[in-house]
Amino acid sequence: KEPKLTLAANYLSINLLADSVVHPPMMYGTWKDWDGKPVTEKPLFYQGLNDFAAGMLDTVSTELVNTAHAIHQKYPEMDMSDVIHLFDWYKLNYKESITDFSTLQTAMRTC
C-alpha cells in the first residue's frame, strides 16, 4: 500500500482528534503509582494498557467529541465531523489488526 493522504475538514478538527492526545493518559496510567524503583521488565505500552489509563482515554476522548459538538453548535459552518471517539477511530484505522473489539482497552491491547 502507498501512503494515502486524507483532506481534513479544517485545522481545528484535526487538533481535536483523540489520537493526538493518546500518550499522556497512557503514560500517567502506567506510572502514577510507580515507587521510583527499577522495574524488572520493560512495561508494554499499548498492549499493557491498564483499566485506569483506558478510563482516562475514554474520558479525554469524550471531552474532545463534546468540545467539537459545542463548536459546531455555535458555528454550524465548522465541519467537525472528523472528531470521533478514540474507540471509533481505532475501529476505523486498525480494523484489520484488532482481534478484540469489545472495548477501547481490548482494541488497543490487541491491535
Cα separation, 105 vs 49, whole angstroms:
7
Burial class (CB in 10 A: 0-12, 13-18, 19+), 32: exposed
23 given a catalytic annotation: yes
Helix (H), strand (E) at residue 40 = none
CA 1 from centroid of its chain's CA atoms? 24
Angle at 68 between CA 46 and CA 105, to 5 degrees: 20
Catalytic: which of 23, 69, 72, 85? 23
Structural contact between residues 83 and 13, judged by C-beta atoms closer than 8 angstroms: yes
Residues annotated as catalytic are 23
